[in-house]
Every structure is written in structure tokens, then in C-alpha cells.
């Protein structure tokens, strides 16, 4: 099978993806789209690259079943969901740093699925990208993922097969690698999302939404028209489970945005400070803001201290239409009366904490390095064969987007510029990168991340070391844009 056929398979099966990074393996050379034993994409089989064995590590085994579920979001509002183990989010997965992680996926849906371990630095064959690192798991079939759970922190897992639909329908869950010695006794996980409950999901290529966004400067206008309900851990409004804490108690709250819109959570004043972003500890967070902005696909951990015994809430910024859906009551016990979801809570000023507000404690490069490879990534918009708006990288859509072609060990510089009208959270698989500057202004304290939220008119320069062999994606995590 030639590479043109592979490209077609990728479009159909992935509906992906703005860009791709390839390490040690030219994508358009000869080969096969399937990955049976012994078949290679380059000189080395993906099945052999950085293979990991448990050796003497503890082995933690989980079983996940992809299945159809009728899911109650709130007060009888039910949706037809696709789930891992029957819930939205799927079964929470927790292991300890250094464990050998083994997950058996069984597919009982009538469509192919996979699991991508978002943010994990792992062997390429475990990355869960169908057509690139594995064959999609067909209905009735199974696949086992296994790798060493290095790098303690907050991750999440989700399907990478037709992601714009499958993640939208609930195929995601939380994944935590705990430190050998836990820093916080109370540790909670919250996944934010959007759903089309009272309407059909609308066509993202609708020009009306695009024009509205272009004229208003709202980089979310295209996605906002598609959904009518916000959720926290699969529930909305009064159905969201309360956070139970005592007065002056401190907890680690892990937030993941599994949706395709940015969200701003407002906390009680002086109650929150950011401690980690994309698994990297931050410095000088200072607790100066009570508003936290989380981009699609991003993970942000905060230290939260309950200020008084009075029941309160953590809630989506009130300027959003569905703010009352995305609310977390903070109460003293499970028996406490629920806090009204329409209770007001205000921001303390214009300061908003984002995923790029703070420098990282540990950096990849002490000084700005001399790159071996330079790539300019222009995020723009155009028309796709007269069918509607297309989201492009360098005026192309995948698989015609120019790849980032590197050798193992290369230092790669990427300048990402958004010349379009919509937000693009760009996520790199298999690596972390160092954000050196924004809009030409150098950061005094570099940020280390695996996802950078690039808004219209913004430009970021990032660097990373190509030290994880294989074929990797670099794509927009608004999966509607990737599709």
C-alpha cells in the first residue's frame, strides 16, 4: 500500500490533523498503513522504538471497555454517550510514579476506537494515534497499552479516532501519576466539557459563526454556536458533585479541559494559586488572581484553601451564557444543602491566570539554544473545495501540511503565528517544549508545556529536543478544527 493510500486512511480514520512531527521516519516514503509485526515506517519498526518492560516494577493493571451509555447530565437531561466503563468521564486511573502501567481496552462500540495518553512521554507505539502508531481497535476487538508511569502529574486519556466526535460523546477520563510521597492529603480531579443537549451539534464551517467571530474579536465564536450545556465531571448545574472541605483545609485540585472552548473558573478571593501546568511545577504564582483560564486540552493544578465555613462555589465566569452549568459547590459535608448554582461570585480584577502566566521551575534549556531545525507554523483559514471554512497550517490541511522533518537529538525551533480569527490550542505529542517568547517579547522565566493556546494575532516561539523517536502529531486540540 503506498503513502497516498495511507494519507487517505488517516483522513478518514483520524479526521486529523493540522500538522505532524516525524522523528527518524519520513512519512511519505514507502511502507504500509497497518502495523503488523515486522512492518516498518522507516529503518526501525515503531513496535521496537523505545520498547519498555516492567522488570522489577509494580505492575498496575486496569480494564476499560468502550461502550454506549445513556448518560444523565442533569435533572433528566440525558444524552447518548460513548464511554469507557459506562461513565462520563471514564474510570479514574491512578498509579504511583515508577509503576508499570498496563491497560486492556475492549471495544464494544460499533465503530473503531483508540486511547491517547495526553501529555505522556511514552514509546511511540503506545501513543494511540490510529493509522500512525497503531491500527484502530475494531468493534469486538481488544488492545493492550503498557508503559512506565514516569513523571508524576496530571494527565488524561481520550480516543484519538475521529476525535471531534468521540471525545465529544464522552470517550475520555482522568489519569494521575502520584508522587512517591504525596504533597497534598486531599486531591481531587475535575474535567470540564461542553455538550449539545438541547440541539444538534452544528456545523463548525458555518460562515455565520465565522463572521460573528471575525467582527466581534471572539476567537471562540465558531465553537460556541455548537454547544448549549457545560459540564464538570459529566454533570451540569445542580447535578455537579460537591467538593467537601473543612474551613482552612487545603487541597490540590486538578483541572482538565476536555472540551473545545476555553473556560474561566472564578474562585473565592485569595483562595487559589496555580502550582502546576501541563505536569510542570510553576514558580512565583503568587495567588494574585482568583480567575483561572484553561484552554482546550490543557491541564492546570491549583492549591485551593477554603477560606470560611460558609458554603461557596467555584464557577465559570458569569459573562458566559451557560455559566450556571459549570459550578462546583464547596461544602462542609455531603449532607449540606446544595449551593445554588446561580449564586454570584465575582473576579477580583482584570488579572486572569492562564497556562502561560508563570515560569516553570525546571526548564529544558538554560539559555535559548541554537536550533538544528526551524519551522514557521502559520495558523490560518481558507476554503476547502467549496465545502466551507478550512483550518490550515501554512495554507494547507493534513496530510498536505509540510511535516517537521528531524533527526534524533535535533533542537527544533517552531514559530507559531495565528493569522486567522479563531483560537488554536496547539498540542505536541511525545515531547514537551519550552516557550521562549510571546509576540516577540522574550520571557524572563520560560514556560515548559505540551500545549500552547494561540489566540488570533498572537505569536509564540517554542523550542524542543527531538529525543523521543517515532512519528508524532502536532495539532490543534479544538478537535473540531483538527477535523
- pLDDT per residue as tens digits for the range 235-244: 999 999 999 9
- Single out the residue in 152, 182, 212 at which a domain terminates: 182
Q: Does residue 26 sit within a domain? A: no
Residues 86 and 158 in one domain: yes
Question: By mean pLDDT, which of 109-123, 320-334, 411-425 is the weakest?
Answer: 320-334
Residues 204 and 267 in one domain: yes
Q: Does residue 366 sit within a domain? A: no
Residues 124 and 86 in one domain: yes
Mean pLDDT of 324-337: 85
Q: Does residue 113 sit within a domain? A: yes
- Whole-number pLDDT of residue 143: 97
Mean pLDDT of 62-70: 97
Here the CATH number for the domain that contains residue 101 is 2.60.40.420
Residues 174 and 201 in one domain: no
Separation of alpha carbons 220 and 120, rounded Å: 27
Band the pLDDT of 460: cuts 50, 70, 90.
Answer: very high
Residues 90 and 137 in one domain: yes
Mean pLDDT of 340-364: 81
Residues 217 and 315 in one domain: yes
- DSSP secondary structure code for residue 323 in this structure: G
- Whole-number pLDDT of residue 260: 93
Q: Does residue 19 sit within a domain? A: no
Instruction: Give all strands (DSSP E) within 149-268, no chain letters.
Output: 153-158, 172-178, 187-195, 229-232, 243-244, 250-257, 263-266
Domain count, the chain: 3
Of 8, 47, 13, 6, residue with least CA distance to 27: 6
- Whole-number pLDDT of residue 432: 98
Q: Is 420's pLDDT higher than 80?
A: yes
pTM, rounded to two decimals: 0.89
Separation of alpha carbons 166 and 115, rounded Å: 11
Q: Does residue 3 sit within a domain? A: no
Q: How far, CA to CA in Å, does 145 sit from each of 60, 131, 133, 456?
A: 12, 16, 12, 37
- Whole-number pLDDT of residue 202: 61
Residues 207 and 169 in one domain: no
- Whole-number pLDDT of residue 47: 62
Q: Is 132's pLDDT higher than 50?
A: yes
Question: By mean pLDDT, which of 288-292, 417-421, 450-454 is the weakest?
Answer: 288-292
Q: Does residue 92 sit within a domain? A: yes
- Whole-number pLDDT of residue 389: 78
Residues 202 and 325 in one domain: yes
Mean pLDDT of the chain: 86
Band the pLDDT of 164: cuts 50, 70, 90.
Answer: confident
Q: Quote the Cα angle for 76-80-83, to 5°.
A: 110
Which range marks the domain in which residue 215 is found?
193-331
Question: By mean pLDDT, which of 130-139, 190-199, 346-355 is the weakest?
Answer: 346-355
Q: Does residue 431 sit within a domain? A: yes
Q: Does residue 212 sit within a domain? A: yes
Q: Is 334's pLDDT higher than 80?
A: no
Residues 197 and 319 in one domain: yes
Instruction: Please give the distance of CA 337 from its chain centroid, rounded to a whole number.
Output: 34
- Single out the residue in 182, 205, 238 at which a domain terminates: 182
Question: By mean pLDDT, which of 13-22, 79-88, 155-164 is the weakest?
Answer: 13-22
Residues 386 and 465 in one domain: yes
Residues 110 and 154 in one domain: yes
Instruction: Give all strands (DSSP E) within 179-217, no chain letters.
Output: 187-195
- Whole-number pLDDT of residue 28: 25
Residues 154 and 230 in one domain: no
Amino acid at each position: 500500500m503506498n503513502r497516498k493510500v495511507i494519507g487517505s486512511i488517516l483522513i478518514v480514520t483520524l479526521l486529523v490533523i493540522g500538522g505532524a512531527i516525524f522523528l527518524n521516519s519520513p512519512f511519505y516514503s514507502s511502507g504500509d498503513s497497518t502495523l503488523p509485526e515486522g512492518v516498518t515506517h522507516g529503518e526501525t519498526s515503531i513496535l521496537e522504538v523505545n520498547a519498555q518492560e516492567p522488570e522489577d516494577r509494580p505492575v498496575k493493571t486496569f480494564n476499560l471497555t468502550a461502550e454506549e451509555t445513556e448518560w444523565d447530565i442533569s435533572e433528566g437531561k440525558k444524552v447518548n454517550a460513548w464511554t469507557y466503563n459506562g461513565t462520563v468521564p471514564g474510570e479514574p486511573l491512578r498509579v504511583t510514579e515508577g509503576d508499570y502501567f498496563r491497560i486492556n481496552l475492549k471495544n464494544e462500540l460499533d465503530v473503531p476506537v483508540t486511547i491517547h495518553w495526553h501529555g505522556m512521554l511514552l514509546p511511540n507505539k503506545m501513543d494511540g494515534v490510529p493509522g500512525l502508531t497503531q491500527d484502530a481497535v475494531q468493534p469486538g476487538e481488544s488492545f493492550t497499552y503498557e508503559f512506565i508511569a514516569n513523571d508524576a502529574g496530571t494527565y488524561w486519556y481520550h480516543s484519538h479516532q475521529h476525535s471531534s466526535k468521540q471525545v465529544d460523546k464522552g470517550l475520555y477520563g482522568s489519569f494521575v501519576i502520584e508522587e512517591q510521597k504525596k504533597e497534598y492529603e486531599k486531591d481531587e480531579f475535575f474535567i470540564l466539557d461542553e455538550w449539545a443537549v438541547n440541539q444538534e451539534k452544528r456545523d463548525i464551517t458555518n460562515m455565520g459563526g465565522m463572521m460573528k467571530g471575525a467582527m466581534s474579536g471572539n476567537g471562540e465564536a465558531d465553537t460556541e454556536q455548537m454547544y448549549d450545556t457545560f459540564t464538570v465531571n459529566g454533570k451540569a448545574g445542580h447535578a455537579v458533585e460537591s467538593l467537601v472541605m473543612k474551613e482552612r483545609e487545603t487541597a490540590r485540585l486538578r483541572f482538565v479541559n476536555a472540551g473545545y472552548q476555553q473556560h474561566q473558573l472564578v474562585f473565592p478571593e485569595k483562595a487559589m494559586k496555580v502550582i502546576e501546568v501541563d505536569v510542570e511545577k510553576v514558580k512565583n504564582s503568587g495567588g494574585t488572581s482568583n480567575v483561572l483560564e484553561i484552554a482546550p486540552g490543557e491541564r492546570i493544578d491549583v492549591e485551593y484553601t477554603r477560606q470560611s465555613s460558609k458554603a461557596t462555589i467555584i464557577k465559570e465566569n458569569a459573562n458566559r451564557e451557560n455559566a450556571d452549568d459549570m459550578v462546583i459547590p464547596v461544602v462542609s459535608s455531603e449532607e449540606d444543602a446544595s449551593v445554588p448554582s446561580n449564586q454570584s461570585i465575582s473576579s477580583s480584577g482584570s488579572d486572569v491566570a492562564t497556562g502561560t502566566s508563570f515560569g516553570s521551575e525546571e526548564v529544558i534549556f538554560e539559555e535559548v539554544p541554537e536550533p538544528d531545525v526551524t519551522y514557521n507554523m502559520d495558523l490560518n483559514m481558507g476554503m476547502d473545495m467549496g465545502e466551507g471554512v478550512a483550518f490550515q497550517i501554512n495554507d494547507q490541511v493534513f496530510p498536505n501540511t509540510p511535516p517537521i522533518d528531524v533527526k534524533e537529538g535535533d533542537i527544533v525551533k517552531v514559530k507559531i503565528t495565528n493569522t486567522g480569527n479563531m483560537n488554536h490550542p496547539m498540542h505536541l505529542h511525545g515531547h514537551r517544549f519550552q516557550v521562549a517568547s510571546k509576540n516577540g517579547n522574550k520571557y524572563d522565566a520560560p514556560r515548559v508545556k505540551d500545549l500552547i493556546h494561540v489566540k488570533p494575532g498572537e505569536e509564540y516561539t517554542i523550542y524542543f529536543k527531538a529525543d523521543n523517536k517515532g512519528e508524532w502529531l502536532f495539532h490543534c486540540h479544538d478537535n473540531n478544527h483538527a477535523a
